[in-house]
Structure 1
Amino acid sequence: MDLSNFEKDNTKNCLLESPVPECSTTEACCLGIDEAGRGPVLGPMVYGTCYSPLSAQDKLKEIGLADSKTLSEEQREEMFKKMCEAQDYVGWMVEILSPTFISNSMLKRSKYNLNALSHDSAIGLIQKVLDKGVNVKEVYVDTVGDPDKYQAKLKAIFPSLDITVAKKADATYPIVSGASICAKVSRDHAVKGWKFEDGISGEDLAYGSGYPSDPATKKFMASNMDPVFGFPQFVRFSWSTASHILEKEAEIMEWEDDEDEEDTGGSASLLTFFNKKGEDSRLQRHRYFKERNLSSVAVL
């Protein structure tokens, strides 16, 4: 699995996909959707889809597809390997949603909660697979929120498809199990390969499961919080776990208007004497801004 594009810039979402099996463009296919990493406060959330001709359902069972949560990491890797080896009748696509995207979406003024974000990702994956020419007839989705409302929402967008949204669909339908494995393996790789600003990788850090209740996760967050700039991009700022730590431990910032600033009388700041010759200190940006691709604007 090649995550090089995501690793180059883990502040942005990333789409990964397999080759489209030729038979899936002519034969009627089923498609499953599931996610990995919805609950953790650390790392990305990944939405995955797996598709295969209806005539190949017995072959999917022979592979032994099962809900990724019931499998060890080694077993998931082995299952994913088998799926890739079966590329003549199995296709997959995953979308990696970065922690930055999740936080920015949930914290913007117009509320965009995790359920809506999840629905939109699933809808986008279905459309992308259809755009690839896959002859999708049946769709099976592990629910997010009320299954009946979610199913009605998807049916309104894709009226020609036979759609089933159910709880624990990943344990019921092999095609959803395949999607679950793709999503979980992708997240595992993304978390392990995460590059922090100081060059440390995810494999070198003890952050536990990433879930808010995990003591190792709490310890990681407490020891990796800057009192001014907060957490690294690996952390989802929009989670209450993160906001509670910030409220308790971070510095209180006060933002003053330009006109309220004291007149320096034209004297230079003391900090300018520490600049390199010809260097403008105003152009030196803290890594907080670099990580988030933030830049100054002249006009709003």
Structure 2
Amino acid sequence: MGGRTPRHHELIYPGYSSMTHKRREREAKERERLEQMLTYERKLWDAGVSHIAGVDEAGRGPLAGPVVAGAVILPMSNCYIPELNDSKKLSEKKRNRLFDQIKKQTTAIGIGIIEPREIDRLNIYQATRQAMIDALSHLSNQIQHVLIDGKPFSSFPYPYTAVVKGDSKSLSIAAASIVAKVTRDRMMVKFHEQYPLYNFAKHKGYPTQAHFAALRAYGHCPIHRRSFRGVREFFKDFSDEFYNWKNALEQAERGDGLKKIADHIAKFSHTLKSEELEELRLIYQYRKKWLLRQHAN
């Protein structure tokens, strides 16, 4: 006869009914977490939307290398991937293992890559948007709705929902975050072979002290983002005076002290080039915001 209709969690987790009682108890918490991360997908599935793409990026903040977006469509059933989470919360070893599982279990995967020169031309916001669009374009015409990590874009060519911190709230976005992160990290390891002086295999292009030290010692390389603060100065002949003021601003520990340094810079502005003043202005604004955040915490 027909028998009973499988429950929703049995469709998502094949083999659920055959689990031992002990195993059910051990995995109950993980199932609950993963089911909670299907909230956005379920609402769309219940509305008849079956092809939902999650999309996320890796590499907005680094000084070097591309920005990479991953796009993933999870199946309506068999989307249970234990330990799937925001890529930033996982070890490199676990990300690599989950990446292999995602490739086996997802309906479709797309990757979009925007290179450093294009980032400089577009700006990082537009480059991230374009990387996501490129990743989604590799999913063919299956997409009915997109779940995006972060805030809304001013325009986007697909119906979408923006989910702040979506990589920890949506399984589709979490899977996309792992695809993007693992893909980009592997690219940076390859770049390390080309440019070993910068140790890209370790910091992946992010602004660490070791990375800044390498920039000071060796200058920039072809994959550095020329438009990014911390790299721009290496493309121009900045004066010793600029670096003295730069160091003073970056070492200021209080807002009033930072303001005094800025006032001194203003008095001696006639001794600095316009591009040096603009760079110092950006450094001042960044340090001011950082100090305000520190005070708020």
**What TM-score, normalized by structure 2, do the two folds share?**
0.57
2:177 alignment partner in structure 1 = 180
* Cα distance, 1:114 vs structure 2: 1.7
Q: Deviations over 1:183-213 (max 9, x none)?
A: 00001100001166xx55589667635333x
**In structure 1, which of residues 22, 43, 47 is the aligned counterpart of residue 65 of structure 2?**
43
1:201 and 1:95 map into 2 onto residues whose CA distance is: 25
- What root-mean-square deviation, in Å, do the aligned CA atoms of Structure 1 and Structure 2 show? 2.7
How many aligned positions are there?
192
1:275 alignment partner in structure 2 = none
1:96 alignment partner in structure 2 = 113
Please identify which structure carries the higher helix content.
Answer: 2
Q: Deviations over 1:67-108 (max 9, x none)?
A: 00001111100100111232xx432111222223222x1xxx
2:91 alignment partner in structure 1 = 72
Structure 1 residue runs without a partner (length 5+):
1-26, 106-111, 226-230, 251-300
**In structure 2, which of residues 148, 155, 169 is the aligned counterpart of residue 153 of structure 1?**
155
Q: Deviations over 1:221-241 (max 9, x none)?
A: 11221xxxxx21121111121
**What TM-score, normalized by structure 1, do the two folds share?**
0.57
2:203 alignment partner in structure 1 = 208
Counterpart mapping for 1:1-300 below 5 A: 28-53=50-75, 55-56=76-77, 59-86=78-105, 89-103=106-120, 105=121, 112-129=122-139, 132-134=140-142, 136-143=143-150, 146-147=151-152, 150=153, 153-154=155-156, 157-158=157-158, 161=159, 163-194=160-191, 199-201=194-196, 208=203, 210-212=205-207, 214-225=208-219, 231-247=220-236
* Cα distance, 1:170 vs structure 2: 0.7
- On the 8 A contact 1:46/1:183 being kept in 2, the answer is yes
2:196 and 2:67 map into 1 onto residues whose CA distance is: 18
1:243 and 1:204 map into 2 onto residues whose CA distance is: 20
2:199 and 2:67 map into 1 onto residues whose CA distance is: 21
Instruction: Look up the SS of the partner of 2:172 in the other structure.
Output: helix
- On the 8 A contact 1:193/1:201 being kept in 2, the answer is no
Q: Deviations over 1:97-152 (max 9, x none)?
A: 2223222x1xxxxxx322122222323333442xx242x22310012xx43xx2x6
1:133 and 1:63 map into 2 onto residues whose CA distance is: 29
- Which residue identity is paired with 1:139? V
Change (3 A) 1:222 1:80: same
Q: Deviations over 1:141-171 (max 9, x none)?
A: 012xx43xx2x623xx33xx4x210211111
Instruction: Look up the SS of the partner of 1:77 in the other structure.
Output: helix
Higher relative CO (CA 8 A, sep ≥ 6), structure 1 or 2? 1
- On the 8 A contact 2:188/2:201 being kept in 1, the answer is no
Change (3 A) 1:232 1:40: same
